Structure formats: structure tokens, C-alpha cells
Homo-oligomer: A and B are copies of this chain.
Amino acid sequence: MPKKQHNGSPAEVEAAFYDAMSRADVDALMALWADDEEIVCIQPNGLRLLGHRAIRESYEMLLEHGGVHIQPTQLHEMHNLMSAVHTVVEGTTVLRGDQGHLVATNVYLKTPKGWRIVAHHVSVAPGPTPSDTHSQVLH
């Protein structure tokens, strides 16, 4: 049975993505990506993974011992009729205190099956998670 989020908006796909990660559900996670071998994931360690197989295996390794809880906050978005670009600050218990925080860009394209992830780029940023978006803007 198709999952509810498969016909959802980019925001719903994003919520389902972080939910699947928290449940270590790699099948649900991968179903949110476009059915396209050109999908790309840039990990916090800078490794660029291309295609379903490489991305799936990286999540299988990451989630081998259980879910990873990530709370996306401070969503900033741009979109047109066929694409959406989200940037979020990723609150996570994986990094603690002075280890920094994560910042992600998530790109969605509208496919024949609905909105799907085509790119996920995560960086490590120094310092604790900023309290709000404005603290990250120079002016």
C-alpha cells in the first residue's frame, strides 16, 4: 500500500525523511528519493554519494544500531512549480556541545510519482545550534 507521504508536499516528504531516519527504516527512507540514478547525497564528512545503491548502503551503515534522531529547525525554502530547495539546521544528539551542529540543503523535484528528494547535502558547522535564523544572518 503506498505510504501517505508519497503524495505529500516537499515539507511532508522532509518530515517523513527525518521520521524514517529516527525509526531506522531504510526502505521508507529510500522510497522518498527520486527514482533516478542521478540522486546525490553529500555527507557531513564530505563524501559525495551518487545513486540509490551507494546512498542506501550509507544509511544502512548509519542506522545499523538504531535510529538517528534529527530535529530539523529554522526551515528556509525557495520553490517553483517543479522544484523546492529547503535549508534547515539539523538538531541532533549525534553531535554534543562544542562538536558543532549540522546544516542541510534538501532539494526536491516534482516527479511523476510526486515530490521526491534528489539531493541532500549536510555540513558540520562549528558551535552550538543557533537559537534562530536571524543569528545566522549578518544583517
A100 touches B (CB below 8 Å): yes
Give this chain's copy count.
Answer: 2
Give the CA-CA distance A44 to B139 in the complex, in Å: 19
A98 touches B (CB below 8 Å): no
Instruction: Find A83's partner among B46, B49, B83, B124 (CB 8 Å cutoff).
Output: B83
Assess the B123–A121 pair: CB atoms within 8 A. Answer: yes
Q: Known interface pairs A87-B42, A125-B45. Does A57 touch B139 (Cβ–Cβ under 8 Å)?
A: yes
For residue A43, give the distance in angstroms from its CB to the closest CB of chain B.
9
Instruction: Find A100's partner among B46, B80, B118 (CB 8 Å cutoff).
Output: B46
- Please give, as numbers and ranges, the residues of chain B lying within 8 Å of A131 by CB-CB distance: none
Known: A36-B78, A50-B76, A105-B107. 20 other contacts (CB 8 A): A40-B76, A42-B105, A44-B123, A45-B126, A46-B100, A46-B101, A46-B103, A48-B76, A48-B136, A49-B137, A54-B137, A54-B138, A57-B138, A58-B138, A78-B109, A78-B119, A80-B110, A81-B82, A82-B83, A107-B107
Nearest first, the 3 A-B pairs at minimum CB distance are: A46-B125, A83-B83, A54-B138
